[in-house]
Amino acid sequence: MLMHMEVRYTSTRNAGVSTDIAGAIAQGMPEDGGLFVPSQIPALRPEARFEPNLTYADLAWLVMSPYFNWGEAELRPLIEKAYSTSGEHANFSVPEIAPLIPVGMLERGEAGGKPRGVARAKNAATVHGGEGVPLYLLELFHGRTCAFKDIALSLLGDLLRMSLDKQGIREPMLILTATSGDTGSAALAGLGGQPGIRIAVIYPSEGTSQIQRLQMISAPREGRFVAGLRGNFDDAQRAVKGIFKTATADGSMFKGVRLSSANSINIGRLLPQIVYYVKAWRDLRFSGVIGPDGSFDVVVPSGNFGDILAAKYAKLMGLPIRRLVCASNSNKILHDFFTTGVYDRHRDFSKTLSPSMDILVSSNLERLIYHAQGKDAAGAAARTAALMHKFETTGQFEISSAERARIDDFSAGWADDAATIAMIRHMWQEHGTLVDPHTAVACEVAHACWRSSEDHTAVPVVVTATASPFKFPIPCLSALQGLSPETFKAGEDLELARQLSAITGKPIPRPIAALEHAQVLHTEVAEEATLLPMLADFARSSQ
């Protein structure tokens, strides 16, 4: 690991690519269709772990600055602005940004519902052990759209603006974003209004909660394009990636306009997510739960794999994370990958109560595959390119036993909708904690990991709580009232959020309550074949 050398960025598919952080953020994706990755992982600065009384912005500067070749006077003001918690333009409603909340113990026999499969990467140790371990929720939903995406996207807009300036780019920039529900609204809030930057958000027209959708389609139209795509998130993500390739091959489609991305395929989205895992360790350390060398496990509800990959980067930097547990819903392609080493998208797609995880093609997995190759950059890129080509042409690939061994700190589990509902009920009845369905999936997987373990080494378990439960009132009310989700009428989420508040005594977050008076401004619905010309027209009209 390197500390003082400038970190360069290469492509997962071509070792000949080399750029600085500004180039990687501004471009979004390499032209070869891969993803930008740091060519070396910097070590975590000791003060990031051991210096007391740091604000979140202080910590973010310490964690992120080694990835940048920017001076403190350039980068730090952007971080301070992004992580403001007071004043008229505060981006977060709580001073800690990402509070760590204790929610009891994982104990043998304790269950939210019928346990689902729990798998470990080959050669992996078991996940939890002992008579019980403390469970914590890392609340990541106190931003402007009540989802974890706010933490990174509050910063990405200014990172992108600075990157464009450093690259000497004067052309207008179009940010293309596929979303399974939360990234779109967070990107519209975090990037909208940046000078010279337009944003286009594509979401599955029938694949989000009503509140997620309303947050997007009520965004101001100036510099913004929002469209539902007939299909699922994988269709939207494939369409956006295809547009990047088309724009590279045919410069006339977006002539005079640069393209980039706000998805976690953009390295500028991924790096800020490392910070909150360091904060979680610090909270455990300074509260006396663990010692100065103590470790913890993380359980992350995963769809596009960016959130848990940020935890892996934190570990590679030296943060003592022991296990990384990937939690899936019934679209359990990641669970099956960590079980067998085979990634296979040939399966039925399920619409679940945790829609932001309804994904069968997890883009960030490519970065993990790259890092599983060892230190030979040329060999790593060639192998990753070959695997991704096979996946794109056949729909599946398999990694070797040696590659599986290099990622054996990953485990995986999954929960269906019934187990998700049961865990929401369990967390409320036993701990007085209301969780959204994505967080409930991760909590169920954490419990199932504990029940299946034979290890006797207990470390704290941190579950990332990725969204406010008020964004998903139907599964929450279903759990608390013992009713089927089908009982509740679709399209009445705001009224149901009020009912959920009345039952639990918890206030509706202000950004969700404000939707009561939101006006629908974006009504476009597209087929995949019509999306490219629609976006090209938007780009031209915005110049």
**Tens of pLDDT, residues 141-188:** 999 999 999 999 999 999 999 999 999 988 888 998 888 888 899 999
Looking at residue 486, its pLDDT comes to 92
Q: Inform me whether the pLDDT recorded for 453 exceeds 80.
A: no
Structural domain that includes position 105: 100-144+271-360+396-472
CA distance 373 to 383: 8
Looking at residue 456, its pLDDT comes to 52
| 88-110 per-position pLDDT tens digit | 778 999 999 999 999 998 876 54
DSSP 147: B
Q: Inform me whether the pLDDT recorded for 13 exceeds 70.
A: yes
Instruction: Examine residue 446 and state whether it is found in any structural domain, yes or no.
Output: yes
Q: Inform me whether the pLDDT recorded for 522 exceeds 90.
A: yes
Q: Inform me whether the pLDDT recorded for 125 exceeds 70.
A: no
Instruction: Examine residue 292 and state whether it is found in any structural domain, yes or no.
Output: yes
Nearest to 275 by CA among 78, 61, 419, 100: 61
pLDDT band at 505 (very low <50, low <70, confident <90, very high): very high
- 316-339 mean pLDDT: 97
pTM: 0.92
Looking at residue 3, its pLDDT comes to 44
Q: Which amino acid is at 367?
A: R
Looking at residue 260, its pLDDT comes to 86
Q: Inform me whether the pLDDT recorded for 328 exceeds 80.
A: yes
Q: Inform me whether the pLDDT recorded for 233 exceeds 80.
A: yes
Looking at residue 124, its pLDDT comes to 35
Looking at residue 109, its pLDDT comes to 53
Phi, psi of 506, deg, nearest 5: -100, 135
Any idea what the CATH number is for the domain that residue 334 is in? 3.40.50.1100
Looking at residue 18, its pLDDT comes to 97
Structure token pair of residue 138: 């890392």
Looking at residue 122, its pLDDT comes to 40
pLDDT band at 250 (very low <50, low <70, confident <90, very high): low
Please tell me which residue, 127 or 401, carries the higher pLDDT value: 401
pLDDT band at 114 (very low <50, low <70, confident <90, very high): very low
- Strand ordering across the sheet containing 9-11: 14-19, 9-11, 36-38
Looking at residue 215, its pLDDT comes to 95
- 446-451 mean pLDDT: 87
Looking at residue 32, its pLDDT comes to 92
- 129-138 mean pLDDT: 80
Averaged confidence pLDDT in the chain: 90
- 207-215 mean pLDDT: 91
- Strand ordering across the sheet containing 296-301: 100-107, 132-139, 461-465, 296-301, 321-328, 410-414, 118-120
Q: Inform me whether the pLDDT recorded for 424 exceeds 80.
A: yes
CA distance 64 to 272: 7
Instruction: Examine residue 373 and state whether it is found in any structural domain, yes or no.
Output: no
Looking at residue 135, its pLDDT comes to 96
pLDDT band at 131 (very low <50, low <70, confident <90, very high): low
Q: Inform me whether the pLDDT recorded for 343 exceeds 90.
A: yes
Looking at residue 454, its pLDDT comes to 60
Instruction: Examine residue 422 and state whether it is found in any structural domain, yes or no.
Output: yes
Looking at residue 261, its pLDDT comes to 85
Looking at residue 339, its pLDDT comes to 95
Instruction: Examine residue 286 and state whether it is found in any structural domain, yes or no.
Output: yes
Helix (H) or strand (E) run with residue 201 in it: strand 197-204
Total Cβ atoms within 10 A of residue 468:
26
CA distance 142 to 511: 10
Looking at residue 242, its pLDDT comes to 85
Structure token pair of residue 401: 């036993």
pLDDT band at 241 (very low <50, low <70, confident <90, very high): confident
CA distance 302 to 358: 9
Instruction: Examine residue 466 and state whether it is found in any structural domain, yes or no.
Output: yes
- 216-235 mean pLDDT: 92
Instruction: Examine residue 202 and state whether it is found in any structural domain, yes or no.
Output: no
The count of domains in the chain is 1
Looking at residue 153, its pLDDT comes to 93
